[in-house]
A = this chain, B = another copy of it.
Amino acid sequence: MRTRLTLVVAVVLCTVVVLTGQSRDLREDVERWVSAHQRTVVGELTALLSIPNAAADTPNIARNVEALRAMLARHGFRTEALATSGNPLVYGELPVPGATRTLLFYAHYDGQPVDPKGWKQASPFTPILRDGRLEDGAHELPNLAARDRFEPDWRIYARSASDDKSPIVALCAALDALKSTGRAPTSNIHVVLDGEEEAGSPSMLSAIAQHRDRLKADAMVILDGPVHPSGRPTVVFGARGILAIELTVFGPKFGLHSGHYGNWVRNPAFELVRLLASMKDDSGRVLVPGFYDGLEPLAPEERAMLDEVPDDEAALQKLFGISGTEQAGLSLQDAVQRPSLNVCGLSSAFVGANSRTIIPDRAIAALDIRLVKETPSGPMLERIKAHIARQGFFIVDRDPDDATRAAHARIVKLAVEAGGTNAYRTSPLAAESRQMVAALTRVFGLAPVQIRTSGGTVPIAPFIDQVGFPAVSVPIVNFDNNQHGENENLRLGTFFTGIATLAAVLTM
């Protein structure tokens, strides 16, 4: 099965693939250059990682902006700091004589807030080197700054080591490697670096309007996120969006003795569970009318692409301790092509040692709905509301007063978190998508892992919607990087391969 589909992919997506000596040489040339310049490249990264970068830390954000502009300038870019209503965008242009295409590379220079207590090192902003994964018992290696050679399994531990400073350094290194071997990018290269991504990029949409002349391009290359767990070069064409809502079903004004009033006063926890149960059946299918509206069958090429993703589902199930999946026969890749409805929290009165035999005064469910391109958040919210109303609930946006309580038997408060983030997806069949896949296939001798839609949500989706040209992610960091958590890290072998990956994209 897999073999047959490999052929389909090879025929359909890789028609331009010719494994010429030149392409193979590019990878060898870049790897040779990286091998000789590990100390410089790693040094550039650790210097950047030494500057704290929480989005709210304005003085250090300014230091990051200066360091990034200086770094981009060293590698040939004309740079600017584009003002926004928040942190500046760092912008760089590298025009290429004769190039007729412009690629805009997006990355972000801010990082998740840190809780230093959870880090097994002096500071998340004092990068250290380990000879493997901390969780596997790896040891710290001294003299990080003085080393010339780094083994592939070694890792740099620091905030933003993976998310998202290393891709910026890798892009600069890829440009240097190309230059040293007498090659030039085949596109004009523009760079925009977001300083508020981990804070939800609140200034980005207005900044796009304000700096539209700078942010024009033929395609965007997003440098963020991890490669597929298989470690192979990866291209991601889209990401699911999210609509997070909280439902609060109201019972009596205060908890009531379940002996005295059980059977007589309605129980809000039962009302809530019946409401939730009405939303999804036993086979995992969401029952909210219209939930799947707009979804089309996959094109044969897309079908083949999904089937080619080398997910090890049996290993995941073992890791998670689960037997079977929600929808029998639905692969992980298939599952994330659809919107999902997830209960991410339940709360009503108490369980365990604090449990009391009461009819609770309220019951709360936190839901997240992962959206796909065909199911934007606005209409989805209306469908959810209509479904809830059809179950007999009166929907309110604040706790009900006495008059509301007296008028309605079933009352639910619906709160939307931040209005939702839409999905985005660039067609894998678009010209730029095919060219990028072809370039990576040429350089690595094997098609990259191609993810039609990644399950998680990226806050830049509205940005992608807005710019009006195709956007594709090319991640270059290891998937087990503890992104967003403590002890974030970067596997150096994956990072070095990423430099060759970006060199392929620069010459696509």
Q: Residues on A close to B: CB < 8 A?
A: 239-240, 242, 244, 246, 251-254, 256-267, 269-270, 272-274, 276-278, 280, 282, 284, 318-327, 330, 332, 335-336, 338, 340-352, 355-360, 363-366, 368, 370, 392, 402, 405-409, 417, 454-457
Contacts and interface: CB of A to CB of B under 8 A. Distances in A.
A320 B276 contact: no
B273 A343 contact: yes
A45 to B, nearest CB: 26
Contacts of A345: 269, 348-352, 355-356, 360
A324 B257 CA distance: 18
Contact of A259 (B240, B318, B326, B402): B240
A324 B363 CA distance: 18
A347 B347 contact: yes
Contacts of A257: 455-456
Given A257-B456, A344-B355, A347-B351, A270 B276 contact: yes
Contacts of A321: 252-253, 402, 405-406
Contact of A456 (B252, B260, B274): B260
Contacts of A364: 351-352
Contacts of A318: 406
A258 B322 contact: no
A111 B184 CA distance: 87
A261 to B, nearest CB: 7
A403 B482 CA distance: 28
A366 B327 CA distance: 28
Given A266-B284, A269-B276, A273-B273, 5 more contacts: A244-B355, A252-B321, A262-B335, A323-B407, A344-B360
A497 B252 CA distance: 33
A336 B267 contact: no
Given A349-B344, A455-B261, A277 B273 contact: yes
Contacts of A455: 257, 259-262
A303 B384 CA distance: 45
B325 A266 contact: yes
Contacts of A269: 276, 343-346, 365
Contacts of A256: 320
Q: Which of A240, A319, A343 has the most CB of B within 10 A?
A: A343
Given A263-B338, A270-B280, A346-B347, A366 B370 contact: no
17 contacts: A252-B322, A256-B320, A259-B457, A262-B340, A266-B324, A269-B276, A270-B276, A273-B343, A273-B346, A277-B277, A322-B405, A344-B349, A344-B359, A345-B351, A346-B346, A346-B349, A349-B366
A50 to B, nearest CB: 29
B351 A346 contact: yes
Q: Which of A251, A278, A352 has the most CB of B within 10 A?
A: A352
A492 B96 CA distance: 96
Contacts of A263: 284, 326-327, 330, 335-336, 338, 340, 370
A347 to B, nearest CB: 5
Contact of A350 (B266, B320, B336, B366): B366
A304 to B, nearest CB: 20
A259 B278 CA distance: 22
A392 B283 CA distance: 12
Contacts of A352: 246, 345, 347, 364, 366
B351 A366 contact: yes
A91 to B, nearest CB: 29
B322 A265 contact: yes
Contacts of A350: 344-345, 347, 366
A355 B348 contact: no
A335 to B, nearest CB: 4
Nearest to A365: B351
A334 to B, nearest CB: 9
A264 B323 contact: no
